[in-house]
Structure 1
């Protein structure tokens, strides 16, 4: 019904027929035509209103339209011959039958509503009156509509053309009629007698009389299908540049290619890639020989579940020389098969399953496009059409080439990134500790997770046994990612172990490590590489005898401590500058840890997130640690579950958990020794007695020799006061001799007539390991004896 004239529907006889042939709507115009009221005919079969032998015209679905003359029965018994126009109504399956009631004679060429406009307009033109009913069309518009003017005069646009497009144009015409301002509307509809729809630009302008009153509208229709398709192709290329390559993942990139092409370019798209060469080599430059083995990377269809696919993603298949895949790879260019014939028929006969799918889904056109990047062939994309009736055109080939070329570069970038990532990850894991050492000082658990999407970084952790049952814990993070970061991490981890082996204090160790990073950065600059070398690091030393922990930080997040009987808290430690700054001091902090305290060291990738601040992450960390700290492995798992997203860590994560253990006072024996060589023998006796108390008499002979040599050297070359300390656990006996001299002993080869020089050589032969460390008051010489296997 016209929004301008409420009774306008009476000018057209309209009836809606359901899919089962029942009348479900009867207009006032229909009553005027045949005399029946709506109450008399609605709900009855439409065939009851036909003359004998006549049938109701039924248009095809999908916006179809039919017209013709029908013999209808009037209520008074007369038979009327009426021209009718029928439209399919989607999606209900009903159809609309209508005919104009107002008989109009030939239009006057001098009528101000038409005149020279209809006679001379070069484009398809139609004029509608102030009730939006067709007044006249020129020959071009009659050809577009596909019906003669005398049949359709008096009908509205929605009654002449397909319903969705016609109703939209009619609404725009009503706006022009009411406002008096012209406007344009784009629509998609079939022209008369054609199966394919066209893209139309309808320009609607008001028609005014000499007094400026709007007396109708003029509609000029322009077929801009080619321009629309060109715009569509440009939009698809632009969409491909935005949507393809959002990640550095080969499979995801291939899937993005299919999502761009379906349904815009094809109804089914598959991406098959060559397997990468072994040992990380490059793809060959020339085309691969047939038959070709390809691995399905991705596919997508307009049908849910992609039932057309024969190969599932991840599987390989062999394509012979007659297949579209092999032929296009061999030719090095796109190939289009417009129908199932020739070599394609030969291939489908050979592959019966594929042939069955082609016939089942009605695939009528196939295009194969090689995936090439940087002069190398990576695979092939196959596009198929079965729902779209039109075959692939030359423009479609150019479009597919452009989109595939963009995707090929992204796939190659993802492949190169994946290869470098795997190399860096293998290097990273080889440089990290494969297992944590068992020590009497602490129980430890660790986790390392590489970034899910970014490059592998330089996060590392380590547990280093030191002399005197002490143990060092270290966590670090090299700035940057990739192989260079992993290599730098390996160099720093080796340097830390070397510096730890000479028992440097945490602040001194970080100072030496800072010097190393400065030199590495200078070397990187000299080699012309981009960026400077930098890192953060936290180094801690725990002594199970004193149960004291000393730690220092180089720009690293402070650790979290979980006491055995209290809530977790973050340790207040001076952050210090990051490694590589150079020249700035580091400070150590000491704290006493009760036995059973859990110390948590981590890298910043664990707490940082785009979805929360660091403080919130720290609260989650502490809660997970407190709830599961009884078992360190479970605690490590719980912390990662609480803090990291389901898709993986956005940055590398290293986590080290350590539960402190203390040595009982009864496992440590200490003696003050006067600087008198005559007292060496009594000292040996005291050592022997102590070992007997500990039940370690099997180690007495070796221990006496080691103690005798170390004490004699301290009396002869050291400075008082001198102290002897024995420490043991179930596996190791440690002998330590301390004095006030800062001069450290060293092994040397004794000459034949030398009276001394063989003592430390003897110690080295008898013990598991030995060494010296500097203390604030001098030095300590220590030696470890293994108790394993001693009976």
Structure 2
């Protein structure tokens, strides 16, 4: 509604852009008021369902749509089907929540590389000002060359203000096509036309200016003396209209920024929102800490503060600003510049016009660049981007010479724009910071697994959940065990967020500690459940723990409420879920766990994952498990490719919120000819025999170069067992993989310890020798005693399977 008497030609306009598929791509606030649909309802909906614009669309509006066309003046399409003539008309529309509306509309077909194919301007005929020559029901929308209208250049320059917030390239293309096709006017007759301007208008288009516009195109005998001055009585109306213009602008900008929490996208939206409607140039600068997502900036800025120019938007010719103000440049702004004044005071800085003296002073502060040709004669407004009263950055806004300079009202508008943009940027900054923290935390808790273990290759994938925070309780692990065995673990703490991640870290550490004690799978889960009870956090977790023995070619698996693993047989490529005893989740307490033994063959693949991969909302989990089996059986060139195949097949991106952990192991096995075992008597004479056995076996394997070191290590371990155990018999085993593994077993449960020794001590040096020469060494309990082992690197040795002697 107007404040005061309505003025002819100045109308609240609805502005809509329609894409090639007939769907709305832009919907202004005026469109919401006129047609009754909000932006969220309209964008993406068929335009014909929302507006009664008749033949301007591919099908009529009286076919069950929202309105009946009364008078449509159609333009004929061009020969190439791109952009034809504009069309206009008058129709009835039934807006939701209000009675019938008499709609005037103008439709411009658009051509270009984008999807925009139709621009629609519409207005409520009842809001047109009264005319002396004709009543409102005799007004019709039409078109006229802007050069034939009074102040045609001003009208052309005003067109970008009509368009909804969009990039300068798109708005410039649309404006040029509108001017080519014809400026929108209200027709009283073919000789009497009133140019249409938005409701906020300019002072030239008051009642007297509208009369002058009519008389300028009327026959000479009907003309009256033109009066270019606005009636002073219209001043309150124009002041109200100017305020309303800025509120409309801020409202549309607010709807176009902050559409995501991505910091880079938010920066582009904030910068582009002001061009060209509010300014011709906009450059956004942010503090380095904000851009890096390092948290909230510490302390006020000064001359040492580094700022990054993160985005530049303008409607000049492409590339004009690129060399002088490049995006991505890091710079510390010197004193005595409006930029420094803005960032230190936190207040907008307005320069109505940059004269030569100021242009020289600003340009002189920057080495090896001349800003004068770009800024001289322009109007400048520098506004701070603040959050919680701290300056995060600032925007430099400039209008070219010839456009109305920035004034105090623009300073207020720019400050409000910057305030809204600052909050949006701070939200994106906080989200980026939280994501960085979450990623760092998650990465620190997830293991970096070696792709190759003894007789076993592994590949993993982890996908964070889409919930805010991106931290979850899923984990996987592969743990090296004595006897060339490997423990494969996957678990899932129920819930999300930092608490679940912290609980996951505790449980994962506990599993690694108990695995090093070589506990049976069922006992390990029993101890893990007891630990969860003692932690007292009332968290539940599922866990699957499997031990692969590549020499025996078998899996020993225990399950605590987790989804079963998939085993893909190498012989025929078939896959199936393993039927295992399913215990209660960790944390329930007081339940028993069972283990199952599964024979495997070399080349079989074991696939373990968390339920986030197989659970789909609205579907039974059985469907996801079936899909897992099918995708796991798909042939792949490598383990990584096999994991990617599973992820592509099951992670469809349709609303997955849970995180996903995937662990795949190819069970290669260790051939019998790559192992050797002997029984030794517990006598000193057996130490020498042990050395000979090792030397001969390495020679047979073509590893004679490793024999000298291996003999020393074996001698020390066997001697230690002979001297310090009560066992009657000892076991000695060699296993050849990428390294040489030697194990000595006895029936004593006391584990050896590495201790210091003095010059006079006769013992205590053996394990120090082992620690110095071996790649790794250790000791673990077994069911009948203990095993002491060492690994020796085979850098120059032949690989397994070689015929070298």
Per the TM superposition, whether the score is higher than 0.5 is yes
Q: Does 1:407 align with 2:434?
A: no
Q: 1:353 to 1:482 in 2, by over 3 A?
A: farther
The match for 1:83 is none
**Counterpart mapping for 1:572-651 below 5 A:** 572-573=579-580, 576-604=583-611, 606=613, 625-640=632-647
Deviations 1:122-154 (A, max 9, x none): x974467789569xxxxxxxxxx99xxxxxxxx
Q: Does 1:538 align with 2:544?
A: yes
**Counterpart mapping for 1:185-204 below 5 A:** 190-191=205-206, 194=209
The match for 2:567 is 561
- For residue 156 of structure 1, give the secondary structure of its aligned residue in structure 2: strand
How far did residue 372 of structure 1 move? 1.7
Q: 1:285 to 1:317 in 2, by over 3 A?
A: closer
How far did residue 688 of structure 1 move? 5.2
- For residue 254 of structure 1, give the secondary structure of its aligned residue in structure 2: helix
**C-alpha distance in structure 2 between counterparts of 1:231 and 1:659, whole Å:** 69
1:469 equivalent among 459, 478, 484: 484
The match for 2:520 is 505
Does the 8 A contact of 2:385 with 2:418 survive in 1? yes
Deviations 1:140-189 (A, max 9, x none): xxxxx99xxxxxxxx837853436689xxxxxxxxxxxxxxxxxxx7979
**Counterpart mapping for 1:101-120 below 5 A:** none
Does the 8 A contact of 2:518 with 2:781 survive in 1? yes
The match for 2:172 is none
2:380 equivalent among 341, 344, 366: 366
1:443 equivalent among 450, 457, 464: 457
TM-score (norm 2): 0.59
**C-alpha distance in structure 1 between counterparts of 2:192 and 2:236, whole Å:** 18
Q: Does 1:735 align with 2:750?
A: no
Q: Does 1:549 align with 2:532?
A: no
Q: 1:325 to 1:437 in 2, by over 3 A?
A: same
Deviates more, 1:492-501 or 1:561-570: 561-570
Q: 1:130 to 1:428 in 2, by over 3 A?
A: closer
Does the 8 A contact of 1:266 with 1:385 survive in 2? yes
Does the 8 A contact of 1:257 with 1:407 survive in 2? yes
Does the 8 A contact of 1:684 with 1:708 survive in 2? no
**C-alpha distance in structure 1 between counterparts of 2:466 and 2:326, whole Å:** 25
Does the 8 A contact of 1:293 with 1:318 survive in 2? yes
How far did residue 273 of structure 1 move? 0.9
Q: 1:322 to 1:789 in 2, by over 3 A?
A: closer
Does the 8 A contact of 1:437 with 1:463 survive in 2? no
**C-alpha distance in structure 2 between counterparts of 1:319 and 1:195, whole Å:** 49
How far did residue 464 of structure 1 move? 1.4
1:382 equivalent among 396, 405, 409: 396
Q: Does 1:258 align with 2:267?
A: no
How far did residue 245 of structure 1 move? 3.7
Contiguous gaps of at least 5 residues in structure 1: 1-88, 93-122, 135-144, 147-154, 167-185, 199-220, 523-531
The match for 1:14 is none
The match for 1:295 is 308
1:162 equivalent among 194, 199, 205: 194
- For residue 261 of structure 1, give the secondary structure of its aligned residue in structure 2: coil
Deviates more, 1:538-547 or 1:323-332: 323-332
2:509 equivalent among 494, 516, 523: 494
Q: 1:609 to 1:394 in 2, by over 3 A?
A: farther
Q: Does 1:692 align with 2:696?
A: yes
How far did residue 621 of structure 1 move? 5.7
**C-alpha distance in structure 2 between counterparts of 1:589 and 1:639, whole Å:** 26
**C-alpha distance in structure 2 between counterparts of 1:621 and 1:407, whole Å:** 45
The match for 1:769 is 777
2:733 equivalent among 716, 721, 726: 726
Deviations 1:468-518 (A, max 9, x none): 111112234556777766665544433222111001222332333344445
The match for 2:347 is 333
How far did residue 272 of structure 1 move? 0.7
Does the 8 A contact of 2:716 with 2:770 survive in 1? no
**C-alpha distance in structure 1 between counterparts of 2:427 and 2:260, whole Å:** 10
- For residue 282 of structure 2, give the secondary structure of its aligned residue in structure 1: strand
Contiguous gaps of at least 5 residues in structure 2: 1-105, 110-127, 140-149, 152-186, 214-233, 798-805
Q: 1:279 to 1:540 in 2, by over 3 A?
A: same
The match for 1:527 is none
The match for 1:656 is 663
Does the 8 A contact of 1:254 with 1:297 survive in 2? yes
Does the 8 A contact of 2:134 with 2:188 survive in 1? no
How far did residue 546 of structure 1 move? 1.6
Does the 8 A contact of 2:130 with 2:136 survive in 1? no
How far did residue 541 of structure 1 move? 1.1
The match for 1:784 is 790
How far did residue 330 of structure 1 move? 3.2
Does the 8 A contact of 2:675 with 2:736 survive in 1? no
1:273 equivalent among 282, 286, 307: 286
**C-alpha distance in structure 1 between counterparts of 2:435 and 2:794, whole Å:** 43
The match for 2:40 is none
- For residue 279 of structure 2, give the secondary structure of its aligned residue in structure 1: coil
**C-alpha distance in structure 2 between counterparts of 1:314 and 1:706, whole Å:** 62
**C-alpha distance in structure 1 between counterparts of 2:325 and 2:534, whole Å:** 55
How far did residue 543 of structure 1 move? 0.5
**C-alpha distance in structure 2 between counterparts of 1:631 and 1:319, whole Å:** 53
TM-score (norm 1): 0.60
Deviates more, 1:578-587 or 1:555-564: 578-587
Deviations 1:204-258 (A, max 9, x none): xxxxxxxxxxxxxxxxx99966556555555555555555444443322222222
- For residue 383 of structure 1, give the secondary structure of its aligned residue in structure 2: strand
Q: 1:617 to 1:194 in 2, by over 3 A?
A: farther
Does the 8 A contact of 2:757 with 2:764 survive in 1? no
**C-alpha distance in structure 1 between counterparts of 2:462 and 2:558, whole Å:** 22
The match for 2:83 is none
How far did residue 381 of structure 1 move? 1.4
- For residue 276 of structure 1, give the secondary structure of its aligned residue in structure 2: helix
Q: 1:358 to 1:706 in 2, by over 3 A?
A: closer
Does the 8 A contact of 1:248 with 1:413 survive in 2? yes
**C-alpha distance in structure 2 between counterparts of 1:507 and 1:404, whole Å:** 61
Q: 1:545 to 1:312 in 2, by over 3 A?
A: same
**C-alpha distance in structure 1 between counterparts of 2:667 and 2:359, whole Å:** 74
- For residue 327 of structure 2, give the secondary structure of its aligned residue in structure 1: coil
Does the 8 A contact of 1:454 with 1:650 survive in 2? no
The match for 1:71 is none
Q: Does 1:357 align with 2:374?
A: yes
